[in-house]
């Protein structure tokens, strides 16, 4: 079976597929077999300039388009994305290696939800009127920022592109998006869907390339805002270069999130929560609850049930409908995760299951790692402190509520956190003390579009999803209106 998904050309600018074959060539590989899915050219500086120039020209008319009309186009694009769901799922599976049973229900769906939500929000945008006194009042205008540069990570390619596109476009900005070089394809499909829905040419553009292309976007004089999903080191670089011209910045970065299981938790739900928090997308999820703190009374039952269910996870051909877990995205990520597994063993954690690579006939060149659970992990171990970004779950023991909260917060990250307990007061009390931007009580890793998503501490700046995202893709103008005389002291 062919795994080729070669797009017409590498970039999508001003409503058209374009290329500059003098740009550095790179290949996107199917992580299950290392076969070539597509050959792409990185954007040359001329392509970057061309994309940003088209966005700049198109943005003005787009901002002047009535909100309801902007919203209607986004809602239409959502319908087209849903119609192309199976095609998008296959492309995401080929690019990322994630199991098709995930990509069929999550990736395009999340993108469509976002386009639909912000399309609806566009139609409901209102400004404030602020009474002052007697003969004057003020009002506010929410205005777009202008040209937004979006830069994406590789784990949820079309979702990341849409989470940036939908609020930007709803508010009248234009976007130039650079996907990760490992997953260049689905953003091009999103561009096609937006064009088909009636989005004017130039409002959404896709350019390809590695870090240097992203870096050029973050310093470009005609870019007003940079929004990145990626790692903390890249986030710091992006923020530093955007600071030279004081561009607005949204950063969705990494995590090392705690999941706290109290003795009184529903056992099966808590085990399901821990699995969702660690093994979905082969563990390549920024908000994963990789530090699982288990209270001593439930520890034995929880651990044996968790190990039993983890051992039953089916690894295999990502395109087969019954495969539950695919390979790591790349050899590089495979090596990073294996190094952490080695460190866990060396530093004295107890390997309960996994830790190796399965032998799967026909997939010998795939970057597979078994879902892995370490027990007796202590807070100072490397696997307890650093983001692994792979299917590696660490179990910690605890007795006491106050101390587990302190340990959960003892990290530079603050993206997510979760608590399992049947005591609702305890659930709220503990969540209130956890330093994280996105939290769950009795579930994990669900991110409906109406709920804000983002990090505290070094996990990020700004919020995606929900009406809170509007604040990060617009600026507020206040207008003071005098209807009486002007009383000057001189
Ligand atoms: P990276 O930080 O390596 O890359 C993110 C993007 O930034 C890529 O498109 C990359 O290009 C680009 N880039 C790299 N260097 C620069 C630069 N100097 N200036 C501008 N852009 C640059 O992250 P990964 O792709 O490896 O993704 C994994 C990370 O993303 C993890 O830390 C994960 O936690 C985080 N993440 C966060 C999420 C969130 O919402 N909080 C969601 C998903 C992932 P290229 O790779 O093509 O070279």
Per DSSP, the residues of 253-306 read -----EEEE-TTS-HHHHHHHHHHTTTGGGG--TT---EEEEETTTHHHHHHHH
352 CA distance to ligand 1 centroid (A)?
Answer: 31
| Ligand 1 nearest-atom number relative to CA 233 | 2
| pLDDT value of position 79 | 98
Q: Which residues pair with 151 in a beta bridge?
A: 178, 228
| pLDDT tens-place string over residues 54-71 | 999 999 999 999 999 999
- Are 101 and 35 in contact by the 8 Å Cβ rule? The answer is no
Question: For this structure, is 412 an active site residue?
Answer: no
- 226 touches ligand 1 (CB under 6 Å): no
- 416 touches ligand 1 (CB under 6 Å): no
461 CA distance to ligand 1 centroid (A)?
Answer: 15
| pLDDT tens-place string over residues 225-278 | 999 999 999 999 999 999 999 999 999 999 999 999 999 999 999 999 999 999
253 CA distance to ligand 1 centroid (A)?
Answer: 8
| pLDDT value of position 133 | 85
Residue 1 has pLDDT above 80, yes or no: no
| pLDDT tens-place string over residues 422-436 | 999 999 999 999 999
| Ligand 1 nearest-atom number relative to CA 153 | 25
Please give the helix or strand (H or E) that residue 341 lies within, else none: helix 331-346
Mean pLDDT (whole number) for 350-366: 97
| pLDDT value of position 188 | 98
| Global confidence as pTM | 0.97
- 50 touches ligand 1 (CB under 6 Å): no
What SS3 class is residue 109? helix
Question: For this structure, is 136 an active site residue?
Answer: no
Distance CA 376, CA 351 (A): 9
- 235 touches ligand 1 (CB under 6 Å): no
241 CA distance to ligand 1 centroid (A)?
Answer: 15
| pLDDT tens-place string over residues 384-432 | 999 999 999 999 999 999 999 999 999 999 999 999 999 999 999 999 9
155 CA distance to ligand 1 centroid (A)?
Answer: 10
Residue 472's pLDDT band, with cuts at 50, 70 and 90, is very high
Distance CA 302, CA 370 (A): 20
- 159 touches ligand 1 (CB under 6 Å): no
Q: Which residues pair with 464 in a beta bridge?
A: 453
Collect all residues with Cβ–Cβ distance below 8 Å to 441 and sequence separation of at least 6.
418, 419, 420, 421, 424, 427, 428, 431
The residue whose CB lies within 8 Å of the most ligand 1 atoms, and thus the one to mutate among 153, 233, 240, 334, is 153
Mean pLDDT (whole number) for 456-471: 98
Q: Angle of helix 211-219 relative to helix 45-64, nearest 10 degrees? A: 50
Which residue owns the Cα nearest ligand 1 atom 46? 180
What SS3 class is residue 15? coil
In the chain, the percentage of residues whose pLDDT exceeds 90 is 99
The residue whose CB lies within 8 Å of the most ligand 1 atoms, and thus the one to mutate among 29, 185, 234, is 234
Question: For this structure, is 286 an active site residue?
Answer: yes
| Ligand 1 nearest-atom number relative to CA 209 | 47
- Are 447 and 465 in contact by the 8 Å Cβ rule? The answer is yes
The residue whose CB lies within 8 Å of the most ligand 1 atoms, and thus the one to mutate among 181, 183, 211, is 211
| pLDDT value of position 389 | 98
The beta strand positions in 310-381, using DSSP E, are 350-353, 372-375
Task: Name the average pLDDT for the chain.
Answer: 97
Residue 195's pLDDT band, with cuts at 50, 70 and 90, is very high
| pLDDT value of position 274 | 98
231 CA distance to ligand 1 centroid (A)?
Answer: 5
């Amino acid at each position: 079976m062919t795994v080729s998904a070669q797009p017409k050309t590498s970039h999508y600018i001003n409503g058209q597929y374009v290329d500059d074959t003098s740009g550095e060539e790179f290949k996107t590989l199917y992580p299950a077999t290392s076969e070539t899915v597509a050959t792409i050219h990185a954007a040359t500086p001329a392509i970057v300039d061309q994309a940003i120039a088209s966005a700049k020209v198109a943005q003005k008319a787009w901002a002047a388009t009535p909100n309801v009309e902007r919203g209607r186009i986004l809602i239409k694009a959502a319908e087209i994305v849903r119609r192309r769901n199976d095609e998008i799922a296959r492309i995401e599976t080929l690019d990322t290696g994630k199991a098709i049973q995930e990509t069929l229900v999550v990736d395009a769906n999340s993108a469509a939800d976002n386009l639909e939500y912000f399309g609806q929000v566009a139609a409901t945008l209102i400004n404030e009127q602020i009474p002052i006194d007697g003969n004057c009042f003020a009002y506010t205008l929410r205005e777009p920022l202008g040209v937004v540069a979006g830069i994406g990570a590789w784990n949820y390619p079309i979702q990341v592109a849409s989470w940036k596109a939908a609020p930007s476009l709803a508010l009248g900005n234009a976007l130039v998006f650079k996907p990760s070089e490992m997953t260049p394809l689905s953003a091009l499909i999103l561009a096609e869907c937006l064009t088909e829905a009636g989005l004017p040419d130039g409002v959404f553009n896709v350019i390809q390339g590695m870090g240097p292309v992203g870096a050029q976007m973050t310093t470009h004089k005609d870019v007003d805002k940079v929004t990145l999903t990626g790692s903390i080191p890249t986030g710091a670089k992006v923020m530093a270069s955007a600071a030279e011209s004081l561009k607005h910045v949204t950063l969705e970065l990494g995590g090392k999130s705690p999941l706290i299981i109290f003795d009184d938790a529903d056992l099966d739900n808590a085990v399901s929560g821990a699995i969702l928090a660690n093994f979905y997308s082969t563990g390549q999820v920024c908000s994963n609850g990789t530090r699982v703190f288990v209270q001593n009374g439930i520890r034995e039952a929880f651990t044996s049930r968790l190990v039993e269910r983890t051992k039953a996870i089916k690894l295999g051909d990502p395109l087969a409908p019954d495969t539950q877990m695919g390979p790591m995205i790349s050899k590089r990520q495979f090596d990073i995760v294996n190094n952490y597994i080695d460190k866990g063993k060396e530093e004295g954690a107890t390997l309960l299951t996994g830790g190796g690579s399965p032998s799967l006939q026909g997939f010998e060149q795939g970057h597979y790692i078994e879902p892995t659970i370490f027990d007796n992990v202590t807070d100072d171990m490397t696997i307890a402190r650093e983001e692994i970004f792979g299917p590696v779950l660490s179990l910690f023991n605890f007795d006491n509520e106050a101390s587990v909260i302190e340990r959960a917060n003892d990290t530079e990250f603050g993206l997510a956190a979760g608590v399992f307990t049947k005591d609702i007061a305890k659930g709220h009390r503990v969540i209130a003390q956890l330093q994280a931007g996105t939290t769950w009580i009795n579930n994990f890793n669900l991110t409906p579009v109406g709920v804000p998503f983002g990090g505290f501490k070094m996990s990020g700046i700004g919020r995606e999803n929900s009406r809170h995202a509007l604040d990060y893709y617009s600026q507020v103008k206040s207008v003071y209106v005098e209807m009486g005389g002007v009383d000057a002291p001189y």
